[in-house]
Chains A and B, each alone.
Chain A
Amino acid sequence: MLRWLPLAILLLLAACGKNEHAPFDDPLHAHGIRLPPVEPGLPPLAEASKPQVFPVPPPPFSPGIYPCSRCHVGGAPTADTRPAMPHKKHLDRDLLCEDCHGQDPKVPAAKVCFDCHEDLAKEPEAVRAYFAAVKQPDGTYEFPRRFRTKDVKPNHPGHGKAGVACAACHGEATDAPFEKPKAVAWMAQCVACHTDRKQAVTCETCHEEIREPMHRSVVLHHGEGRHCFDCHNEADRDDLRLASGEKVSFDQSYRLCGQCHGEKYRDWKEGLHGKRTGMWDGEKTYLLCVHCHRNPHAPHFPPMAPEPPPARPEDIR
């Protein structure tokens, strides 16, 4: 009851008259004071906090400006429609991967094939069809390269020495085209395997040179023991994710922040935390958490330079 007391006193004193006034008058002497009804309890959250205008998140967190998917392509592996060399048939004849691809694996030159397939004219129809499909107009042969990485160069001999089979990364050999894994799915595989074998899994372990400069500057000072994918959606980098796995777009990042900072989230929805601009009685622009806490990776408010102080009385003339 006591917490209503200041408000009640305030309203009593502040009550305004209902009669027609001159443009400038004194409310303290106005007659016909009526108190507006004070509703007990609080209005429902949804009604009070209905957002009206949501601004675009500030760069560089706007996927429109820096599409994360430009590099981080997520989703299921895509089928490869290029002509397929029947790998399984070769392996069944007691050949090993390195017999053709070498110790530091690369796409074999055509002459490696012709060591066995000496005379194409005597080969069966399927073999002739394959070579015809990969033959270039200038008469050379170019085999499709299925596993290409942008900035990761796996240490193949090292993996071999550690007893990692080729199939662990490249999949079991089949006669059909290999499924081309998405970079993200592939990386998840790397991380899982490294974690199982208690190997290093920092970014630098694999990514010798991370190309996006924004990633270089990311230093996580946000809680303890957090990981990129606690907030970023691993499968689709243009989105974020809640702890529940639900996808959240960048312009609703406040939901993500609100998972841990529930009290601040509640206050923000009611306009008690954070900042709104525009009209106090109309359309407002809500600023998101990252508008003020500029860097979500280190959201603590940085110190800032103050504006100049007021003039001292002795300087006034």
Chain B
Amino acid sequence: MTEPLPRAPSPSRRDFFKKVGAGAAVAATAGCQQALEEFMKKSLREMSRPEVKALLERLEKEYGEKFGREVSVHATPPREGVLFGYGLDLSRCNGNRKCVTACVKENNQSRPNPDGDHNNPIQWIRVLEMEKDKGISFEHADPYYNPKEVPEEGKFYVPVQCQQCENPPCVKVCPVGATWAERDGIVVIDYNWCIGCRCCMSACPYGARHFNWSDPYLPADELNPNTHVLGNRPRPRGVVEKCTFCIQRTRAGRYPACLEACPTGARKFGNLLDPKSEIRRLLEEKRVFVLKEELNTKPKFFYFYG
């Protein structure tokens, strides 16, 4: 496979160095000032509230110019007493991939662009087709199935997305601390801090992380303008992204987009700390399992047979 080498994530930072080297920093132009701001910025986790606010304003302005329409970027914090959990009923899922399409739409992933210079479609949910004879076996899984109609005879389907582990290997390996688990259990990425080394992608046992090899292709009319700074805001080239349980929706109290799109009702979501929530009833009443339990990642994504 001939892949282009990962590029530096922030060209403006490199620009800044160039300018310093050329002694151009003395000229306090507007562009230089912005580059300075970018260079001096901190990780989101170290920012104070006013700094976060300034960042959101800067991002909103940047996206507004880029897409020619109003984009709101929120930084809704985790709610007290909330820990998100997800359930998926494997006996209901028929592999129709409606969740995948809804996720791409909601979360501003890069769309297919077969005629353009760059074609880097990203899907956060991957539906694996497996054989009933072999059970859950990743060696015999096919994510590229494309028959006329699903479900196919003798096959079953396992949608896999970020499992929001309690013990996330991806977080451990990140050399710059650009990814972490929030208090409500969502593992997030600071796209401005990610250096694109892709260590987290090789560490993730679920293949849940995806890399922007080239500039994401996102037509302005397909943009979802309701975004979260750690979630579905438009990403630059050279950063890793993944499912965030639709952080922009779930922190506002709504169900994730994949759940609402599922025509078979296979997807369940709720607060693990609320004994009356759907996800808790599920854990109490159904036999649930997690993928690759032996790796001790402690996923908060539970599969069951309803």
Q: Which A residues are closer than 8 A to B by beta carbons? A: 3, 6-7, 9-11, 13-14, 16-18, 21-28, 30, 36, 38-39, 42-43, 47-48, 267, 270-282, 287, 292, 301, 303-317
Closest approach, in angstroms, between the C-beta of A294 and any C-beta of chain B?
A: 10
Q: By DSSP majority rule, is chain B's interface helix, strand, loop, or mixed?
A: loop
**Are B166 and A48 touching (Cβ within 8 A)?**
no
- Docked Cα-Cα span, A123 to B298, in Å, equals 101
Binds A, one of B73-81, B132-140, B219-227: B73-81
- Interface membership of chain B positions 109-123, coded 1 if the CB is closer than 8 angstroms to chain A and 0 otherwise: 000101001111101
B interface residues, Cβ below 8 angstroms from A: 1, 3-4, 44-45, 47-49, 52, 75, 77-78, 80-83, 89, 94-98, 100-101, 112, 114, 117-121, 123, 126, 143-151, 166-167, 180-185, 188, 213-214, 230, 250, 253-255, 259-260, 262-265, 268-278, 281-286, 288, 298, 300, 306
How many Å lie between the Cα of A279 and that of B181 in the bound state? 23
The answer, among B83, B96, B260, B263, for a CB contact under 8 Å with A16, is: B83
The SS class assigned to the A binding surface is: loop
| B275 and A38 contact, CB distance less than 8 A | yes
CB distance from A45 to the nearest CB of B (A): 11
Instruction: Name 10 extra pairs, CB < 8 A, besides A21-B183, A281-B253, A317-B120.
Output: A16-B80, A18-B80, A22-B47, A36-B273, A38-B275, A271-B268, A272-B281, A275-B265, A280-B255, A304-B150
A306–B49 CB distance below 8 A: no
Which of chain A's residues have a CB closer than 8 A to the CB of B263? 292, 304
Q: Which residue of B126, B183, B281 contacts A310 across the interface (Cβ within 8 Å)?
A: B126
- Residue of B whose beta carbon sits closest to that of A277: B260
| A23-B52 in contact (CB<8A) | yes
A26-B180, A273-B306, A280-B254 as given contacts; A307 in contact with B101, CB under 8 Å: yes
The residue in chain A whose Cβ has the minimal distance to the Cβ of B299 is A10
Q: A23-B75, A304-B96, A314-B1 are known contacts. Are A276 and B255 too (CB-CB below 8 A)?
A: yes
Query: Contacts A9-B298, A310-B144, A317-B214: A301 and B275 contacting too (C-beta < 8 A)?
Result: no
Q: Would A272 and B306 count as touching, CB distance under 8 A?
A: yes
Cα A25 to Cα B272 with chains together (Å) = 19
Using Cβ atoms and an 8 Å threshold, which residues of chain A touch B143? 309-310
A26 touches B94 (CB 8 A): no
Is A280 touching B277 in the complex (CB atoms < 8 A)? yes
B208 CB, min distance to chain A CBs, angstroms? 13
Known A279-B255, A313-B1: A24·B77 in contact at CB below 8 Å: yes
Q: Offer 27 A-B interface pairs, CB within 8 angstroms, sorted by A.
A: A6-B283, A10-B298, A10-B300, A16-B78, A16-B80, A21-B183, A24-B52, A25-B183, A26-B182, A43-B276, A47-B276, A271-B268, A272-B278, A272-B282, A272-B285, A272-B306, A273-B306, A277-B259, A278-B255, A280-B277, A306-B95, A306-B146, A310-B121, A310-B143, A314-B1, A315-B114, A317-B4
